[in-house]
Every structure is written in C-alpha cells, then in structure tokens.
Amino acid sequence: MDPSLARRDRRTAARVRSAPVTNENTRGASGGPSSGPPTGSPALTPPADATAPVRHPEAPAPGELLGAHYGQCFGCGGEQQHGLHLEARAQDGVRVTAEFTVKAAHQGAPGLAHGGVLATALDETLGSLSWLLRVIAVTGKLETDFVRPVPVGTVLHLDAEVTAVAGRKIYSSAVGRIGSPEGPVAVRASALFIEVKVDHFIDNGRPEEIRAAMADPDQVRRARAFEVNP
C-alpha cells in the first residue's frame, strides 16, 4: 500500500475513535468534570442507594494546596526524582484541581507523555479527593479515555470530583486539559475508590517503608486522624 495512504487511513481512524469523546468535553454545572465522564463499565455506575458526597467540615479550604500525602509517592511526593510532583488544590464541594508538568522522564513515544503516566496523574488527582471526604481510600477501578496526545513540556490541568458514595465505595470522575483549565481535553477518567483503614498499608506494604513511615509522627498522626471520620 502507498505509505501516504496508510498514513491518511491511520489519521482518519484516529479521528473516528476520538469523535464521540470530544463531543462530551463540556464542564458540569459546578465547573467540575462531571458532565460526560467516560461511560462504560457498570461497576463505575453508582447503585440506586448511593448518596451525594459530603464535604468534611474540617476539609482544607477552597484554594488550599493539599500537599503530598507521602514524600515517596510517585504521583505527588517531593522525594521522587522522576515522579509527577503533582500539586492538588481543594475546591468547593468535593472537588479538587491539580497541575502536572510533563517532563522528559515521562515520555512514551518521542516527545509525548506515556499513557500510564497520564493515568497516574488522573489516579493521583482522584485519590486526593479523599482529603475532602477525610477518609483513606485506594483505587479499585480506573477507566481512562486518552483523547489527545500530550507533548513534553505541557502543563496538564486536572479537575476531579466525587460524584456519589455508597458505603465504602466512592465514585468519581476527572478530566485533564492541555495548557490551561479551559484548554482542550486530553484525558478523562471515571473511578471507583474503596475506603480502607490504615491497616491496609501496614499489613501489605514492604516492612522497611512501613517502619520508616511509622517512625514519622506526622505521617502517623495524619493517617490516624483520617480513620476517625465522624
């Protein structure tokens, strides 16, 4: 086949694949990402008895930087040289925004962010919603749409919110835009987080890191405070 035709076919196929997603790229009434999250897995649809999320009275104020939950976290920790160093900020309701600058260490294809790194940025942003509910939760399911390639040097602006809660199950969605909070949508995600106790980490983490974390009184105080969630 003529290589130029093959290239054109590939471009057409890419447009067809992305078309339904880009039609949904408007924001929710709250300014958050809720309108048009990826549909798909039934496990990401809240059950009929799910309730609206409730912002904890001691949640960080809107506009406040949340800070890293763990210095070695690949998503937000300052001690990971090639980590994302993602910075999340509380917003109104149960919503956060975050920024992540794509570095050369985050490439998949030449000059473009790796899809797994972009999924990490979404996962981390969605995970930081726990600060506003004041619970500890881990990702059970994460469904991602990759809408546009994201070049190295891009600042990805992420916006995430909890949409519903059912017992320990926390339903959320997020969107990532290129260059500004109003920029073109590059990635979107829907997620199910599951609330856990601190013991989830103590029982499963590698002993040396757990010992180090337990020796840090600030880390222990932060984690335990989230377990008591009136």
Binding site for ligand CO8 (CB under 6 A): 43, 69, 75, 123-124, 127, 136, 138-141, 167-169, 192, 194, 196
Tell the smallest beta-carbon distance from residue 157 to ligand CO8 (Å): 19
Closest to ligand CO8 by CB, 160 vs 192, is 192
Tell the smallest beta-carbon distance from residue 28 to ligand CO8 (Å): 22
Q: How far apart are CA 86 and CA 120, in angstroms?
A: 10
Tell the smallest beta-carbon distance from residue 74 to ligand CO8 (Å): 9
Q: How far apart are CA 96 and CA 62, in angstroms?
A: 9
Phi, psi (degrees; rounded to nearest 5) at 178: -85, 125
Tokens 């073109």 — which residue? Answer: 184
Q: How far apart are CA 128 and CA 90, in angstroms?
A: 9
Closest to ligand CO8 by CB, 89 vs 141, is 141
In terms of Cα–Cα distance, which of 114, 60, 112, 111 is closest to 87? 60
Structure tokens at 223: 């984690």
Closest to ligand CO8 by CB, 91 vs 120, is 120
Q: Say how many CA atoms lie within 13 Å of 66 toward its Cβ.
A: 34
Closest to ligand CO8 by CB, 27 vs 89, is 89
What contacts 23, CB < 8 A, 6 or more positions away?
Answer: none
Rg over alpha carbons for the chain, rounded to the nearest Å, is 19
Residue nearest to ligand CO8 (CB): 127
| Amino acid (one-letter) located at 198 | V
Closest to ligand CO8 by CB, 8 vs 58, is 58
Closest to ligand CO8 by CB, 141 vs 148, is 141
Give the chain's length. 230
According to DSSP, residue 44 is labeled G
Tell the smallest beta-carbon distance from residue 4 to ligand CO8 (Å): 43
Tell the smallest beta-carbon distance from residue 222 to ligand CO8 (Å): 10
Tell the smallest beta-carbon distance from residue 112 to ligand CO8 (Å): 23
